[in-house]
Structure 1
Amino acid sequence: MSKFRKELRSIFSLAIGLVLATILCVAVVAHTVIPSLSWPSAFVLGAVVSPTDAVAAESIMQSLGLNRRIATIISGESLVNGVTRLVAYRFAIAAVSTGSFSLLNASTQFMLVSIGGIVIGLAIAWLAVWLYRWADNPLEQIIISIITPFATHLIAERLSTSGVIAMVAGGICLGRQSANFFAANTRLQSYAFWRVIVFLLNCLIFLLIGIQLGHLGFGKSSVLLLIEYAALISLTVIFVRLVWTFAVGFLLRQLNRFLPFHYHSIPALLIIGWSGMRGGISMATARLSPRPPRLAALSPGAIPSSLSPLASFFLLCCSRG
């Protein structure tokens, strides 16, 4: 937790500033190269591909053995950026449906969703700590660990706040208290159980996306055109992340002359800039995106495609972006 607090500037720069910049740049590029894609739909696409994924980041970090400071920034970013994506996605969907957008309402909603999610997450975490202490065997504690995130997310969403932020806040609170109620045996069993669950869920998400894409019925020329679009969106996401990372790193280095900021070396910035892994969150969001009016013809034969499968195809190329 102390490492997380020390890197708050870097984490929030990536989780808020970079996500918003990515949404904007992807929307501009998508609307420019696909004229039939409206601005609201382009922003929906930007909101879908903008967040990094905590599970993908964790798996890559374990395989590469990154130093703890870089690992803290990457994992912290992937946990916190959910609220930025959520608010942007909600307002993009609303804009698609109503054709209107208010920056003031979006900013107010962002603050309310964030604060409300934190309060709810901490409250449910406090209750979960009591339940963990009441349970007296590993099986009961693992069952509580299954119920807690679902209950946290459902309650937070029911109260129109961020389920993602609520789970992150609750998870941080439980993580700090876990030594008081988790025995070593329970910790090992719980870790193994959740690794299997995460692996199965990721497999399911990619399987569903593959099934969806397989039933679109694109012609050969349409598939090639979609690949070109996917490559362009992927390059946009990668380019924006690299530029943002080095720009913020340079700014912190300059500010360090006046204030004690923590800044990173150029190799560290390159690793952070190249670590924007996409995964299950973006895939699931693309899968659930509503279908706007059909796009105009992408080839001599009109192709009935919609935003959700198009975004899913983009994400197949962006998942390692």
Structure 2
Amino acid sequence: MSDQDPAPETVIEQLITLLDVEELDRDLYRGSRQPGGVGRVFGGQVIAQALQAAQRSVKDKVAHSLHGYFMRPGDENYPIIFRVERDFDGGTFATRRVIAIQKGKPILNMAASFQCPEEGLRHQQAQMPDVPPPEELENEHTRLHAIADRIPEQFRGQLLRLRPIEQRQAAPFDRFKAEELPPFQHCWIRAIAPLPDDPELHRAALAYASDMVLLGTSMRPHPVGWGTSNLQTASLDHALWLHEPFRMDDWLLYSCESPWSGHGRGFNRGQIFTRDGRLVASVTQEGLIRLREKKKD
């Protein structure tokens, strides 16, 4: 951390506040703005706040999956309103639809499913990749500050601020260098300070973090970087399955791969493991990775 960074506990308190959606009326909630946020709202924030709104409308059942479509970019200058539709309440399962709205227009449609806790047939085929432990890897925040002079001005404020989710790349790379890399990456993630013992908050925090790292995976096989001036990126959809209990203030390995890209879109898959190899979540996302035509002089 740099001397100008706030205390990790302060940043985590901001995250907790950000994810604590305010109830305005039955099934109507307001999500607050990211402190210091500018420009486009981080997609993980919208997904996490939408999940929190859905969780507030369900009793005795636990979220196990969500599927969302981003329609418009969110604006950091405004809070987000979330309207929850109670589509189904059964004995075992419940489903909710959530519409995220800014300035009267939807920016996200999300469906979430909930289940009463129960035991069942178990297996896990996925194996955690063999990567160095997080203690042997450098904090991404520290790495970015070391190359601050190379970060394009439009990204500098966003990338250099201390984030609530720490990242440590298993195989560090230069995200601003246009080079071809394998279409996979592995990154350790965790909250930078302890979180309260609230499982719903931990699920929302994982939903928030699941939009990190993933989209960039589909860019890796191509000679582009975050500094490529005519590169346009955005999340188009996002799906998350929650398999097992976890804590976001313990280290989790986010293992990502991109099996395909084309037509201005990149498809990405992610698996999230605990340190002892339990698969606790799976993620898929398709994103916009478009190279716009450069303007002629």
Q: Give the shorter-chain TM-score range.
A: under 0.3
**TM-score (norm. length: structure 2):** 0.27
**TM-score (norm. length: structure 1):** 0.25
Q: Which has the higher contact order (CA 8 A, sep 6+)?
A: 1
The structure where strand makes up a greater share of residues is 2
The structure where helix makes up a greater share of residues is 1
